[in-house]
Structure 1
Amino acid sequence: MENKKEKLLVQFSKAFVNGDHQFMLNQVTEDFHWIMIGKKEIKGKAQFADALKDMKNCVTSELELVDVITHGKKACVNGNMKVGSPKAEDQSFSFCDVYEFSSFKEPKIKRMTSYLIER
């Protein structure tokens, strides 16, 4: 049985795949910080909105969530996905996203650290 935070993270992951940017923006704090290891950092909800717009041409054809783990104000999701664009062949990735929530009762995502490995 999923707890509230696990359910939120599954929905957040699916929203990313389906391009539901408004849902994602509603789940993060104003001072949201996204660290993409080896790539870049996004600081603040406005930069996150811009980054999501920049990703609109990426199409995820498959998503497999392997683990969704929460404990207190921390959580992680790992899995696999295939991503492509209209002009490119799909690429396969494995990922792990580590989250920090703003609170226990009404959690919003305050920080996300993403590890992405091409397979």
Structure 2
Amino acid sequence: MKTSSTADFLRDFNNAFFSGNQQFIEQHVTDDVEWIMVGASQLKGKQALVDAAFGMQDYTQLDFEVEMVVAEGLSGAVKGVMTATGGNGRKRKYCYSDFYEMSGEGEAKIHKMTSFVVEIKKEP
């Protein structure tokens, strides 16, 4: 079965996000993008998103795996796991789910992201 182009795009977006490809992210979000991090904060605007996502993260200390992508039309969701290694060498593992809404004008760009992130304290 062939993956939809929206699903491929969301997979590419996650890869860019977690590998520190700021240029890709900037090119594929609207100027008024909204990023809601449930339970933490809400950001509005491309620069706010870029500052939060790329401000202090060391991408050499971050591993991730996209486990599932679901997409239809101009919306979709990505579920995955990421592991961050802190300066003290301690690894922290998180499950994440991101929900995306895209604009439909010209080349589709993300205009709203809603992120749920939960730290995994103990493996099942």
Provide TM-score, normalisation by structure 1. Answer: 0.89
Q: Which has the larger radius of gyration?
A: 2
RMSD over aligned Cα atoms: 1.7
Matches within 5 A, 1:1-119: 1-57=2-58, 59-61=61-63, 63-103=64-104, 106-119=107-120
1:38-97 deviations in Å (ceiling 9; x for gaps) = 111110001112112324235312x22111011122210001111123334121111100
Query: CA offset at residue 4 of structure 1?
Result: 1.6
2:78 aligned partner, one-letter code: V
> Could you tell me how far apart the structure 2 residues matched to 1:84 and 1:104 are?
39
How many residue pairs match? The answer is: 118
In structure 2, the CA distance between the partners of 1:21 and 1:34, relative to structure 1 (3 Å rule), is same
Q: Which amino acid aligns with 1:60?
A: L
> Can you give the 5+ residue segments of structure 1 that lack an aligned partner in the other structure?
none
Distance across 1 between alignment mates of 2:23 and 2:91: 25
CA deviation map 1:1-20 (0-9, x unaligned) = 22221111111111111111
With over 3 angstroms needed to count, the CA separation of the structure-2 counterparts of 1:88 and 1:54, relative to structure 1, is: farther
| Contact kept? 2:20, 2:54, Cα under 8 Å | no
Query: When you count strand as a share of all residues, which structure comes out higher?
Result: 1
Aligned 8 A contact 1:31 1:43 in 2 = yes
Structure 2 gaps of 5+ residues are none
Amino acid corresponding to residue 39 of structure 1 in structure 2: A
